[in-house]
Amino acid sequence: MPHSSPSDNRTEMNIELPPVYIRGTGSYAPAKVVTNDDLAKFVDTSDEWIFTRTGIRSRRFVSAGETTSFMAIESARRAMAAAKVSPDAIDLVIVATITPDMPFPSTACLVQHGLGLGPITAFDIQAACSGFLYALRIGTNMIRSGDFKHALVIGAETMSSVLDFRDRSTCVLFGDGAGAVVLSSEESAEATGKILGTLCGADGSNPSLLCVPGGGSACPASVDSIEARQHFLKMNGREIFKVAVRAMEQCSRDILQRCGRSAGELDCVIPHQANMRIIDAIASRLDLPPERFFNNLEHYGNTSAASIPIALDEAVQAGRLKNDDLLLLVGFGAGLTWAASLIEWNL
C-alpha cells in the first residue's frame, strides 16, 4: 500500500521549495483507429464484451514509421508551442516508457536529436503506467535544484508492440500514443499549473501480476522464449484491479494530506485511464461525483505512461480546467508502482 516516507514529508511540507510550473501541454495519437468491432474480426470478443467490462470503445495503433520516439517528438513539439518555449531553452528531457524504440540508447536521446536540442541532459525512466508521474516528480525536483530551467516530461508508448492477440483478456485493453508537458521554473502568462506536491511509491513483491517476462537478462530472447510468447504482456487482471483501487485511493489521500488539502476541494481528477470500473471505484471511495473526473478511456484505451499526459492535454484543450482549480493526477502500474501529483491551475 502507498505510504509517505519521512523524507518526502520533510521535503514538501516543512520547507518552502522553489515553485515549478507546467507551462504547456501537448499530445499525439496515431491516426489509425481500431474499434472493438475491428478487434472482433480476429479476436474472440465483441464490442459489448469489451465496453461493459472496461469502458473502452476504440484505441489508436501506430502505422508504419510511427515509433515511440516519433510520437514523443510530436507531443513535445505541441507542448513547446503551447508553452511558447523555444528548443534552445530546453535543458532537460525525461521520457517515461516501457516500449522504447530499442533497449538502448534511450528514447529521450532520440527525442533530443529529433527536436534539434543542444547537448542537454536526456534519459528514460520506466515505471509502467505510473511512469509519467514518476518523471514529473523527477523533473520537478531537478528544476528545484537550480541546475535546470525548462524540462520536457513525456509519456510515450507503443503498447501494440507487446500485445498478444491470442489473449483477449489483455489485447483489447491497450493503445498507442504520447503526451508531454513543459516544466519550468518560470510562470507563464498563459495557462499554468503550479506543482503543489508529488508522491511516488512501489512494491516489487509480486512482479508477475503485470509484466513482459521475456527479453531481459532473466529470460533473454531465444527461439524457446519466442515460441512460448514470453515477449508479450501478461496480466492477472482480477488481482491488478483490487490492488489498483486500493493503491490509487490511498495515494490520492496521501498527497492531499501532504499538501494540507481535502478530497472535497478537488475540482478535477485525471486518473490513469485503465478501466472505467477502477475509475468509478476511486470516485466512490473519495466520495466525489463522477463529473469531477476527466476521462478519455473510451477513445484511447490504456496507453500506459502516455495515459495521464494525453488526458491532461485534452482537458486543457477542452477548457476543462478553470482559474484556481485544484487538479489531482493519480496513477498505478506494473512494478507495482503508484504516483500522484497535486496541481493548482491558473489562467
Would you place residue 192 in the very low, low, confident or very high pLDDT band (cuts 50, 70, 90)? Answer: confident
pLDDT confidence of residue 12 = 47
Q: Which of 36, 275, 296, 302 is catalytic?
A: 302
What number is the average pLDDT over the span 296-306?
98
Q: Which of 36, 211, 251, 272 is catalytic?
A: 272
pLDDT confidence of residue 186 = 87
Question: How far is residue 140's CA from residue 146's CA, in Å, rounded to a whole number?
Answer: 11
pLDDT confidence of residue 17 = 84
Axis-axis angle for helices 131-144, 307-317 (nearest 10): 80
Strands 121-125 and 92-96: parallel
Asked whether the beta carbons of 170 and 210 are under 8 A apart, the reply is no
Q: Which of 36, 129, 211, 296 is catalytic?
A: 129
What number is the average pLDDT over the span 187-205?
90
Grid cell for residue 48: 459489448
Q: What is the pLDDT of residues 55-94, one digit of tens each?
A: 999 999 999 999 999 999 999 999 999 999 999 999 999 9
Contacts of 107 (CB under 8 A, 6+ apart): 68, 69, 72, 95, 97, 100, 101, 124, 156
pLDDT confidence of residue 9 = 39
Give the residue with greater pLDDT, 269 vs 192.
269
The CA-CA-CA angle for residues 185, 106, 7, to 5°, reads: 50
Would you place residue 38 in the very low, low, confident or very high pLDDT band (cuts 50, 70, 90)? Answer: very high
Would you place residue 10 in the very low, low, confident or very high pLDDT band (cuts 50, 70, 90)? Answer: very low
Contacts of 188 (CB under 8 A, 6+ apart): 21, 23, 24, 83, 84
In the predicted model, is pLDDT for residue 191 greater than 80? no
H or E stretch at 279? helix 276-285
Q: Is the peptide bond before 105 cis (omega within 30 degrees of 0)?
A: yes
3-class DSSP state of 199: strand
* Mean of the per-residue pLDDT values of the chain: 94
Q: What is the pLDDT of residues 256-269, one digit of tens each?
A: 999 999 999 999 99
CATH of 1-347, one of 3.30.2400.10, 3.30.70.3270, 3.30.420.40, 3.40.47.10: 3.40.47.10
| Cell 502505422 belongs to residue | 63
Question: How far is residue 342's CA from residue 227's CA, in Å, rounded to a whole number?
Answer: 45
Is residue 302 annotated as part of the catalytic site, yes or no?
Answer: yes
Of 183, 178, 176, the residue nearest 162 (C-alpha) = 176
What number is the average pLDDT over the span 300-317?
98
Question: How far is residue 118's CA from residue 112's CA, in Å, rounded to a whole number?
Answer: 8
pLDDT confidence of residue 188 = 75
Is residue 275 annotated as part of the catalytic site, yes or no?
Answer: no
User: Domain residues of the chain, as ranges?
Assistant: 1-347
What number is the average pLDDT over the span 308-320?
97
What number is the average pLDDT over the span 111-133?
98
Of 161, 176, 134, the residue nearest 27 (C-alpha) = 176
Question: How far is residue 119's CA from residue 253's CA, in Å, rounded to a whole number?
Answer: 40
In the predicted model, is pLDDT for residue 8 greater than 50? no
Question: How far is residue 56's CA from residue 173's CA, in Å, rounded to a whole number?
Answer: 7
Q: What percent of the chain has pLDDT over 70?
A: 95
Would you place residue 16 in the very low, low, confident or very high pLDDT band (cuts 50, 70, 90)? Answer: confident
In the predicted model, is pLDDT for residue 136 greater than 70? yes
Q: What is the pLDDT of residues 324-338, one digit of tens each?
A: 999 999 999 999 999
In the predicted model, is pLDDT for residue 318 greater than 60? yes
Q: What is the pLDDT of residues 239-293, one digit of tens each?
A: 999 999 999 999 999 999 999 999 999 999 999 999 999 999 999 999 999 999 9
Length of the chain: 347
Question: How far is residue 55's CA from residue 278's CA, in Å, rounded to a whole number?
Answer: 10
- For 309, phi then psi, to 5°, come to -65, -30
Give the residue with greater pLDDT, 186 vs 88.
88
In the predicted model, is pLDDT for residue 298 greater than 70? yes
In the predicted model, is pLDDT for residue 101 greater than 50? yes
What number is the average pLDDT over the span 115-143?
98
Question: How far is residue 116's CA from residue 119's CA, in Å, rounded to a whole number?
Answer: 10
In the predicted model, is pLDDT for residue 2 greater than 60? no
Would you place residue 163 in the very low, low, confident or very high pLDDT band (cuts 50, 70, 90)? Answer: very high
Is residue 272 annotated as part of the catalytic site, yes or no?
Answer: yes
pLDDT confidence of residue 1 = 55
What number is the average pLDDT over the span 216-238?
96
